[in-house]
Chain A
């Protein structure tokens, strides 16, 4: 794979992560436990949809075949999406959402921080903008994880279960494939092994603060980055794409 193709695949993958997570979050609109959290969830989801648009638009430019943001979002099949499996998992309860966000955003923030200094100036610009948004999300979501972990017996039990259930999807974030390796070497992208060490130290500190136990590192699920997904993604894609698929070529 040449470095241009690797960059295109990398940027489109960033778009997939943002869109799939954003789409899961908007499923929760009008169902949050408190009005302030309703606003926060919508606000954060809006950031993710915005990031997906920027990444896809840039991917279309890199590809040079006239594909635009909506072609990436609405006209690719499930196995062409390369998002992390963690992000396509169904919503569950509020604690599941918060846990998923903290596990991912702690990684994503570091990834964006590194990309903001990468040699590809356009990617660096998008990453720098997204980094500011995610820093703010992570602060909010970490506070909630601590509140739930160190709240009542029930909230502690529920959110410990969330951490235990979702932990198996965290390994994939740090599995470097050919695309990650080329982007690291050719453009100064992140080294995933370094990100893993930082993430482990940071998540440890957060879990201790939340009085939660860190799960044993056991079997880790993977495949999303290569287009092999869990059963959950197909339904999301079918729902999201249905108007574009039913009315091919229509303008909205």
Chain B
């Protein structure tokens, strides 16, 4: 991805050439340590650039693929108000994808290349979107838990050392907190509703709880990118720290709803002030990452079909623009 990225014509000025000297690397780390923002035209180590391209493009792809499970309930939303709110939320997600692709482009990789890498399976997206949205309550659970976990991950990214990413995240986080509230609000309505509606809400929590915890990534002793990303201030907290924070915030919300978190080992520890929780099924996490989740094939097939079905449209727009540029020049 990175090498192909360097071949782009729109490579930003100041892209480093040749070997990195120890002096450059040291000066760069000094800027990071001083909480300076790194901008697109600044010198940066190749590995820093590669890490950011990987992370930002994965984030963009997640926004785009994430439209699918929620889109699955747009035509069946139970009221016009819920339909409009869900549609606005999905539209925000397409918008987030757009800002994030733009932020990644400042690092010298084109959107077309990133899309190609997604469609070929080379680039990843968040494993959570490979789970199915089976009932209306899932739309509540996705907002509450999935967007809740995303916010936990993303708030620290507003202070990320790379300027364009940090600025995109500030805007995205504002919208995410609205998304999280709409999800919780759906569940409040269900939990105050009929027995069937409450059962629907509990079933959604049962299915989305563990996958949501997996969104924070592998545990700290397994995470291969963590230490360097922390040193570069791309990351500010470890996976396990963020996961713990999410659990501590979310369990009381489940209690408020009158729902039971599906973890028999969950217990509040008075001494630490944190919840102790059961072990995550890391085999499931690895299986979903390897392409064997319930919806991996379905999500990718739909994205590929949309892209392929649109080829003639993109080609028509390109040819039309060329024809008219030629006419205007004549």
Q: Which residues of A does B touch, CB under 8 Å?
A: 19, 23, 26-27, 29-36, 38-39, 42-43, 45-46, 49-50, 52-53, 56, 69-70, 73-74, 93-95, 146-148, 150-152, 154-155, 158, 236, 239-240, 242-244, 247, 250-252
Contacts and interface: CB of A to CB of B under 8 A. Distances in A.
26 contacts: A23-B75, A26-B71, A29-B67, A29-B71, A29-B87, A30-B302, A33-B306, A33-B310, A34-B313, A36-B98, A42-B87, A42-B91, A46-B87, A49-B83, A69-B80, A74-B78, A93-B309, A94-B309, A147-B316, A151-B320, A155-B319, A244-B79, A247-B194, A247-B197, A250-B197, A251-B189
A32 B306 contact: yes
Interface string B299-330: 00010011101111111110110010000000
B45 interface: no
Contact of A240 (B75, B90, B305): B75
A252 B196 CA distance: 12
Interface in B181-226: 186, 189-190, 192-194, 196-197
A94 B310 contact: yes
Contacts of B190: 252
Contacts of A26: 71, 74-75, 83, 87
Contact of A151 (B91, B101, B309, B319): B319
Interface residues of B, number: 49
A29 B90 contact: yes
A27 B76 CA distance: 10
A26 B312 CA distance: 22
B132 to A, nearest CB: 15
B88 interface: yes
The residue among A42, A73, A155 with the most chain B CB atoms within 10 A of its own CB is A42
Given A32-B306, A42-B94, A152 B312 contact: yes
Interface of B: 64, 67-68, 71, 74-84, 87-88, 90-91, 94-95, 97-98, 101, 136, 186, 189-190, 192-194, 196-197, 302, 305-307, 309-317, 319-320, 323
A149 B41 CA distance: 41
Contact of B194 (A23, A73, A244, A250): A250
Contacts of B315: 151-152, 154-155
Instruction: Name the 4 nearest CB pairs between A and B, nearest first.
Output: A33-B310, A151-B316, A155-B316, A42-B91
A232 to B, nearest CB: 14
A35 B111 CA distance: 11
Nearest to A50: B84
Contact of A252 (B68, B79, B320): B79
A244 B80 contact: no
A35 B98 contact: yes
Nearest to B192: A251
Contacts of A39: 91, 94-95, 98
A30 B67 contact: yes
A30 B71 contact: yes
A23 B80 CA distance: 10
B166 to A, nearest CB: 22
Contact of A239 (B76, B194, B316): B76
B316 A30 contact: no
Given A30-B67, A32-B306, A154-B312, A147 B189 contact: no
Nearest to B306: A31
Contacts of A69: 80
A131 to B, nearest CB: 20
Contacts of A240: 75-76
A70 B313 contact: no
Given A33-B313, A70-B80, A247-B194, A239 B75 contact: yes
Contacts of B306: 30-33
B80 A49 contact: yes
Contacts of B192: 251
A31 B305 contact: yes
A70 B79 contact: yes
